[in-house]
């Protein structure tokens, strides 16, 4: 058998995890024909059928299952090598990949990145904007700003000030629909919430407030669109107090006032924490956001 191509092993892992050629190809950033062709070549080299193909889709075979654990161990080893090499580099230049959600990307990062690069123009920034959690262990990002405390022991984290939240409605909406004063009244209004994400429901449950997906009159997983829906008078939204204060057309509601907040964390993997450019950016973000969490003027 010829030497195995590591990229094909990585693609095998992705397809086994996604269970779909389309989704695996999208996650890898390759075309579907390329993924299919190279996996077929891998199966030919191994002389094994790694997947069962049918009209219903694709499913990992018994042979594939036997190889999957070893392939994942290979992946972890490769990721460890990359992190260790990056952590050993001592040149204050190069690229940093940082993962943030839509709110932080839109309101916080533009000014912060601009000011940082004036100080360190040889450092390039790749901004990964997603409400999903990027894997620092798999090198999907070097650094992340997250709204929850990390639990992994091999992560280095800096706690930033919590971000207060509150319910808001536009003055136009209140004029038409009245202002809810209690949690029970709030449920009678046009609530704006997440679609696929259960974050709102879980947060409400922690307050002892039982809410179901159907209680949201408008469901959207895009945080910026949700804010625009609020501003347009479409409904009631729980959002960041520090950002809402800049919009005169909305009003903070009394219900649940001063009881909601998000944790705010800056996180990287321990293996890259010694990298000088990552440490520079991490310290810079921490300094800027510790006293001004939204980096507003």
What is the per-residue pLDDT across 45-54, written as a single tens digit (0 to 9) for each?
788 888 887 7
* DSSP H or E segment with residue 102: helix 102-103
* DSSP H or E segment with residue 292: none
H helices of 120-198, in order, are: 171-177, 183-186
Structural domains of the chain, with CATH: 6-87 (1.10.10.10), 90-161+263-291 (3.40.190.10), 163-261 (3.40.190.10)
Three-state DSSP class for residue 175: helix
Three-state DSSP class for residue 72: helix
- Whole-number average pLDDT of the chain: 84
- pTM of the entire predicted model: 0.67
Q: Which of 95, 96, 99 is nearest to 144 (CA)?
A: 99
What is the per-residue pLDDT across 211-232, written as a single tens digit (0 to 9) for each?
888 999 999 999 999 999 999 9
What is the per-residue pLDDT across 126-167, written as a single tens digit (0 to 9) for each?
999 988 777 676 778 899 999 888 888 888 888 999 999 999
């Amino acid at each position: 058998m010829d030497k195995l191509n590591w990229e094909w092993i990585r693609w095998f892992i992705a397809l086994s995890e996604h269970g779909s050629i389309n989704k695996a190809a999208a996650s890898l950033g390759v075309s579907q024909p390329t993924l299919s062709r190279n996996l077929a070549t891998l199966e030919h080299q191994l002389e094994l059928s790694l997947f069962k193909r049918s009209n219903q889709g694709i499913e990992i075979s018994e042979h594939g299952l036997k190889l999957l654990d070893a392939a994942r161990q290979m992946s972890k080893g490769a990721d460890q090598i990359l992190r260790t090499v990056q952590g050993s580099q001592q040149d204050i230049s190069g690229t940093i990949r940082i993962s943030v959600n839509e709110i932080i990307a839109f309101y916080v990062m533009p000014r912060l990145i601009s000011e940082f690069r004036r100080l360190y123009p040889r450092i390039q920034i790749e901004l990964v904007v997603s409400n999903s959690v990027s894997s620092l262990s798999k090198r999907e990002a070097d650094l992340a700003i997250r709204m929850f405390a990390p639990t992994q022991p091999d992560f280095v984290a800096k706690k930033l000030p919590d971000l207060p939240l509150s319910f808001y409605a536009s003055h136009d909406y209140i004029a038409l629909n009245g202002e809810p004063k209690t949690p029970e009244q709030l449920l009678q209004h046009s609530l704006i919430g997440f679609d696929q994400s259960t974050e709102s429901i879980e947060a409400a449950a922690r307050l002892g407030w039982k809410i179901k997906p159907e209680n949201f009159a408008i469901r959207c997983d895009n945080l910026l669109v949700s804010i625009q829906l609020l501003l347009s008078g479409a409904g009631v939204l729980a959002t960041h107090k520090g950002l809402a204060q800049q919009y005169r057309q909305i009003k903070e509601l009394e219900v649940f006032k001063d009881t909601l907040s998000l944790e705010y964390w800056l996180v990287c993997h321990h293996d890259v924490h010694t990298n000088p450019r990552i440490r520079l950016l991490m310290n810079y973000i921490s300094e800027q956001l510790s006293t001004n969490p939204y980096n507003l003027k």
